[in-house]
Amino acid sequence: MMLKAACRSRSVGHCGNPRRPAPGGPVLAAILSTALSGAAAGAGPATTAPGPDAATFRPSTAGKKLLLYGGPSLEEANALPPDRRPAFDGLINGGGGLVFRDRLDEAEVMAWAEKTAAMPFGRYTDNFTLCYAVPGQKPEDFDWFDDLSFIIENWRIMGAAARRAGFKGICFDSEYYEGHPLFGYARMRHAREKSFQEYAARVRQQAAEMMKAACRDFPDIAILLLFGYSGSFNGVPQHPNSRQENYTLVAAFVDGLLSACPPGATVHDMHEQAFSFRVPGSYRRARAMMKDLLVETSHDPDRYRRHHRAGFSFWADCWENASEGRPFSVEVFDLNFYTPHEFAYSLHHALAWSDRYVWMWPGVIDWWKQTARTVDAEGRQVVRPLPAEYFCTLEQAHQEYVPEPPRRRRPNTYRNEPAARQEGFSDEETFGDLWRDHEPLGDLPETWRFRIDPDETGRDSGWHLPACDDSDWQPIRIREFWENQGFSPYDGQAWYRLRWTPPELPPGRRIFLAFGAVADEAQVFVGGRSLYASPFGRNIRHERFLVDVTDALAAGRPADIAVRVWNTGWCGGIWKSVKLIASK
């Protein structure tokens, strides 16, 4: 828990601070473009409908479990009277550690398991041991081609201890914090001599041995990965591209675990990227990505379907940060990222759209003491009683129905970093490599017309058609997030429209609109025709894409361009330039 807390405070600034790109960018780009097609130059319209999972899955909180990361021991958790115990279903704590760096003391771990098994679990029935992805500080501390027998033995000990303690399995905190990245191919010791494919094969092999070891005494074990398969392909929206390079081997690791699962074992992607989700559509899209899109990238799709499960994360105060002027308020709920009603509503949908588990990072809240860290009038950090309205949200979230909260309230101060501060924002970084085989013809205007569409009725209402009357839509700038232009907090669907007259177009060449980036899904219409659509659930926040408009634009003739955008979390919109270009 201390490791997570320390590292979380360090990771807060990653989305806003420019960084030198890490090596290995082309590797991740190749994985993405090969595994999940649909955003390539000249790609035609892709489906925006959810995949087959949506046909059979029905969101419900029945049987779903809410877990707290860290927190008290079971003994401490059950010390409170039953009516004062927070409505979690399990705890993630103890029994593991830095298993990729240190050798576990089996006697010590099993003694912990024996002691834990003798405790009353009460309502906290679904508990998990906790271990971390911290292999060391330097390349010489770890490489996947090293002798990893002691790490495999650690997984055996953890599995045996979890079974003896009466736990459901192991929670692997797979997020990269510092030092040598466990899953970063480009920073592996032999990356210059061995290909990515060689490393991926080695990771699958070693992960399979770890899974076999964990299942030796616990054949129906559940493995929770806080940053799972989706992290290797989808990344974390608020992290820059360079940080994604630390996760290029995660998918191979998960494939290895899946390859060795006995019939009753499961591996859960707990989707840490869900921090900041607010609305059901965000969970629905993330589920589609995990259940339908990523299965096609798996080394063994059949095993993925049988043993892989979708889960979600939830950050109680969601990046509230007193030092940056965003303290958690125990008095004015509208100042917080979640009001109590929004908290219960969003957490309810996290549970409903999961296969079984949701885990919570508590942030500033101590649920057992019913307190929250905040600041006083002078800005000094203090601890205040947690309002009862927030304490009750946990029980409310478990209910089968939670009404939608009011949509309009005061904007919060949640991390609305300017787009220009994001890594890779400049036109040179975004489009520079295009000029080898394309010619820039000009930039589209920065000011468009904008309207949010929380009920997703815009398409049926013809907002993509030239005849749409957008005179009462609000002006908005591209090359900036909509949160910074008066639309915070808002996650969901929104529309951009522009009537624009193209300049002279070179004859006999293909003409494209080049979008630098859209957060998080996009569909582009020209003259009412859909010419591009990113796949449902695919996050393209950091992906440039081209739209072939050769047959849709004519010099001197006004064109109506509409872009439907879906933002799952954090900041949304057309946040980079849009250019008109021609093939050479």
Q: Summarize pLDDT for 547-575 with one digit per residue, the tens.
A: 999 999 999 999 999 999 999 988 999 99
Q: Which CATH architecture has domain 65-398?
A: Alpha-Beta Barrel (3.20)
Domain ranges of the chain: 65-398, 419-583
pLDDT band at 12 (very low <50, low <70, confident <90, very high): very low
Mean pLDDT is highest, among 91-95, 291-295, 318-322, for 291-295
Would you state the pLDDT for residue 177? 85
Of 57-61, 192-196, 331-335, which gets the smallest average pLDDT? 331-335
* Bigger pLDDT: 487 vs 438: 438
Answer whether 476's CB lies under 8 Å from 541's CB. Answer: no
The end-to-end CA distance of the chain, in Å, is 55
196-215 and 250-259 helices, crossing angle to 10°: 40
121 to 73, 99, 111, 236: CA distances (angstroms): 10, 26, 18, 34
| CA–CA separation, 216 and 315 (whole Å) | 34
371 has pLDDT over 90:
yes
| CA–CA separation, 440 and 403 (whole Å) | 49
| CA–CA separation, 386 and 173 (whole Å) | 27
Give the residue ranges of DSSP H helices in 63-148.
74-77, 106-117
Q: 247 phi and psi, to 5 degrees?
A: -125, 15
Of 42-46, 231-235, 554-558, which gets the smallest average pLDDT? 42-46
pLDDT band at 71 (very low <50, low <70, confident <90, very high): confident
What residue has token string 């549970």? 351
Report CA torsion sign: 479, 485, 489, 494: negative
414 has pLDDT over 80:
no
Residue 497 CB-density burial (10 A; 0-12 exposed, 13-18 middle, 19+ buried):
buried
Would you state the pLDDT for residue 573? 97
Please name the helix (run of DSSP H) or strand (run of DSSP E) that holds residue 251, with its range, or none: helix 250-259
Q: Summarize pLDDT for 393-409 with one digit per residue, the tens.
A: 999 999 999 999 998 77
Mean pLDDT of the chain: 89
Fold match, 65-398 / 419-583 = no
Pairing of strands 312-315, 357-361: parallel
CATH number of 419-583: 2.60.120.260
Q: Summarize pLDDT for 498-550 with one digit per residue, the tens.
A: 999 999 999 999 999 999 999 999 999 999 999 999 999 999 999 999 999 99
Q: Is 97 left (phi over 0), alpha (psi -120 to 50) or beta?
A: left
User: Please, which contacts does 27-34 make with residues 24 or more away whose CB atoms are closer than 8 Å?
Assistant: 27/185, 27/186, 27/196, 27/245, 27/248, 28/241, 28/244, 28/245, 28/248, 31/232, 31/233, 31/248, 31/251, 32/233, 32/543
pLDDT band at 410 (very low <50, low <70, confident <90, very high): low
Mean pLDDT value across residues 108-129: 94
Of 22-36, 46-60, 133-147, 171-185, which gets the smallest average pLDDT? 22-36
Give one DSSP letter per residue of 314-369, joined into a string.
EESS-S-BGGGTBPPPSS-GGGSSS-HHHHHHHHHHHHHHSSSEEEEE-TTEETTT
Query: What are 417's two structure tokens?
Result: 């970093």
| CA–CA separation, 278 and 285 (whole Å) | 12
332 to 226, 329, 339: CA distances (angstroms): 32, 6, 9
